[in-house]
Amino acid sequence: MQDPRLRLAAVTALSVAAFSSTAGAVAAFAWWLLFTPRTRALPRPGLLLPLIAMIAAAALVSELGGGAGLSYFIRMTVILLIAAWAYAATEEGEVLAVAVWALGDRIGFEIGLIAEMGLSGLSVIRQEIDQVRAAMALKGMRPGLRTVVPLAVTLIVTELRRSEEVARLLMVRGYAHGGRICPRFRKGAWDIPAALSALIAVILSVLPVGDVFILLGRSF
């Protein structure tokens, strides 16, 4: 999807659908298979697999406690896939453009700028994790529970320092609030069909799908 406004709308709809019910999650997964580059939009296995493992662990605990663990696992994994695709598809400046288009030059610009900085921070964090892991490997430290605390401390401190530097830089450049940009959006041939299809997932998530099949079964 090229138009970031439609992409954001689709991501919101699919996330709501996947979070609401297992049927919605299955529909959102079908959408992901049809309208995204699928595995090409996924982060590297070193990042994705631990996240899936964390979801699986929480699901297992829930299942053992008598909860709907399997449903939780399916719903959260689909949300993760949608989020990974949305992150991979987002280009620099798009979030700011959408926020200004939706909310104007003042509040929209503020929200968009914060979101842009957050997104750029994510890629910086990824690079920093690689650097810290390399530094730990040089000291002979293997990845594990013992390395989690120093890794987290380094990331938090460096991110706080970066935020401070960016804030200072904005101040030095005379930034007070708001700003003006003229957002322009490209639209792909499949953008509107894909966005409308995302709504089907929402409908399926709120529809009592089991009842529909029972009714269909009775009519035959």
Partner 1 sequence: MRVELEDLRFSRGPFSLRGTGAFGEGVHLVSGPVGGGKSTLALLLAGLLSPTEGAIRRHGIASSLLLLQFPEYHITGSTVAGEVRSWGLEPDDVLVQADLSRRADDDPFRLSRGELRRLTLTCAILQNPDLLLLDEPFSSLDCAAKRKACRMIEGREEGITIIFSHEQAVLPRVDTISEMEAGALTGLGGVPGAIPRWRHAPAYLRYVLEQGARPENIRLADAREALCRTRG
- How far is it, in rounded angstroms, from Cα 115 to Cα 96? 7
Establish if 214 lies at the interface with partner 1 (CB under 8 A): no
Q: How many helices (H) and strands (E) does the chain have?
A: 9, 0
Q: How far is the CB of 81 from partner 1 (least distance, A)?
A: 23
Phi, psi values for residue 91, rounded to 5°: -100, 160
Closer to partner 1 at the Cβ: 40 or 184?
40
Cβ contacts of residue 70 below 8 Å, gap of 6+?
59, 63
Determine phi and psi for 13, rounding to 5 degrees: -60, -45
Backbone angles phi, psi at 44, to 5 degrees: -65, 150
State how far the Cα of 184 lies from the Cα of 10, in Å rounded to an integer. 19
Per the CB < 8 A criterion, the answer to whether 129 and 151 are in contact is: yes
Residues ≥6 apart with Cβ < 8 Å to 183: 96, 97, 98, 100, 101
Nearest residue (CB) to partner 1, 53 versus 153: 153
Closer residue to partner 1 (CB): 138 or 216: 138
**Minimum Å distance from CB 2 to partner 1?**
21
**Which runs of consecutive H residues, i.e. helices, occur in 21-108?**
22-35, 45-64, 69-89, 94-103
Task: Candidates 80-88, 117-125, 127-135, 170-178: pick the segment binding partner 1 (CB under 8 A).
Answer: 127-135
Residues that bind partner 1 (rule: CB under 8 A) add up to a total of 16
Nearer to partner 1, 71 or 147 (CB): 147
Pick the closer one to partner 1 by CB: 146 or 187.
Answer: 146
Told to check if 48 binds partner 1 by CB under 8 A, we report: no
x-or-dash pattern for partner 1, window 49-78, by CB under 8 A?
------------------------------
Interaction pattern, residues 130-169, with partner 1; x per rule: CB under 8 A: -xx-xxxxxx-x-----x--x--xx--xx-----------
Residue 138 CB, shortest distance to partner 1, in Å, is: 6
The pattern of x and - marking residues 87 through 116 that bind partner 1 according to CB under 8 A reads: ------------------------------
Please, which residue, 20 or 147, has the CB nearer to partner 1? 147
Tell me the CA distances in angstroms from 132 to 121, 148, 150, 154, 162, one per residue in order: 16, 11, 9, 8, 16
Q: Which residues bind partner 1 (CB under 8 A)?
A: 128, 131-132, 134-139, 141, 147, 150, 153-154, 157-158
